[in-house]
Amino acid sequence: MIQLSACLIVKNEANLLPRCLESIRSFVDEIVVVDTGSNDNTVEIARSYGAQIYHFDWEDDFSAARNESLRHARGDWILYIDADEAIDVVNAAKIREVITRKDIMAATIRQCIPQPADNIATAFYSEYCRLFRFHPDIRFEGVVHEQILPAIERLGGKVLRTDIVLHHWAYAINKEKKQLRAERNLRYLLEELRKVQDDSFIHFNLGMTYKELGQRDSAVRSFHCALEKDDNRIKREIIANTHLNLSKLYLGQGMV
């Protein structure tokens, strides 16, 4: 039987982790949890769901922590998921079906992010490569907003686009934690930008981070940079999302 490993990195996720683990434990064959320094009962919760627990000293690099989780995985396939995400039974069945295919190396999953009540859209969907075969050369890249797809593409692996959905509860965290997360991401992104100035994906994520921090002018500049530097390496949906966020910012400022 094909074995599926669910890999998570966590820190102080006691409030959200039970929902995630409850949603995946019935269809994955192992749960690998890498804890990067929790001081709540995150580890105890993970252990209660039968997860394998590993500790990793945080080094300001999300890919390093993700790759540590891959190092301990024993499945034929990897599903990477976060503590604030969950998968329902319908989509779980789709995942088990996809991993029986012999002609693909990976598959995309649509992340559904519910939006606040005052938003013009009730939910936003973003497509990511979240499901892939275990392979020693498939590893995450990027200090923040890490990606697995570049490694798969270098191997020439076929990626299947699917309608599988996972639910992301981004608005379940409190405002203080969101603020701290955005400030942290800003530091990492600015450091990345100093190394690679023409990366449109970094500029897009900078725009999203500045927007979350309420720094509208900086957000606008970053979104425009993402569009100007686009060399077809980022997904069309990200370009669409860039335009959508620019529209929201201009409308909010009374600029149109």
CATH number of domain containing 97: 3.90.550.10
Judgement on whether residues 57 and 145 belong to the same structural domain of the protein:
yes
In the prediction, which pLDDT does 176 show?
Answer: 78
Residue 140 CA: distances (Å) to CA of 50, 197, 223 = 25, 20, 24
List CB contacts of 174: < 8 A, sequence separation 6 or more. none
Judgement on whether residues 213 and 142 belong to the same structural domain of the protein:
no
- Confidence check: pLDDT of 130 > 50: yes
Q: What angle do CA 144, 146, 151 make, to 5 degrees?
A: 145
Judgement on whether residues 78 and 146 belong to the same structural domain of the protein:
yes
Judgement on whether residues 70 and 192 belong to the same structural domain of the protein:
no
Closest listed residue to residue 133, CA positions, set 93, 100, 105: 105
Closest listed residue to residue 131, CA positions, set 69, 80, 75: 80
Judgement on whether residues 142 and 224 belong to the same structural domain of the protein:
no
Residue 24 CA: distances (Å) to CA of 32, 80, 146, 175 = 12, 11, 22, 27
Judgement on whether residues 95 and 158 belong to the same structural domain of the protein:
yes
In the prediction, which pLDDT does 255 show?
Answer: 52
In the block, residue with structure tokens 């992104």: 189
Domain count, the chain: 2
- Confidence check: pLDDT of 254 > 70: no
Q: What is the pLDDT of residues 148-176, one digit of tens each?
A: 999 999 999 999 999 999 999 765 566 77
Phi/psi region, residue 229 (left: phi>0; alpha: psi -120 to 50; beta: rest), is alpha
Judgement on whether residues 190 and 163 belong to the same structural domain of the protein:
no
Instruction: Report the distance separating Cα 241 and Cα 223, nearest Å.
Output: 10
Q: pLDDT-derived band of residue 220, with 50, 70 and 90 as boundaries?
A: very high
Q: What is the CATH number of the domain that holds 182?
A: 1.25.40.10
Instruction: Give residue 119's domain range.
Output: 4-171
Judgement on whether residues 184 and 167 belong to the same structural domain of the protein:
no
What integer is the mean pLDDT of 24-40? 98
Judgement on whether residues 138 and 195 belong to the same structural domain of the protein:
no
Judgement on whether residues 36 and 57 belong to the same structural domain of the protein:
yes
Judgement on whether residues 150 and 40 belong to the same structural domain of the protein:
yes
Identify the H or E element spanning 189. helix 175-195
In the prediction, which pLDDT does 231 show?
Answer: 60
pTM: 0.82
To 10 degrees, the CA torsion angle through 65, 67, 70, 71? -100
List CB contacts of 45: < 8 A, sequence separation 6 or more. 14, 17, 18, 21
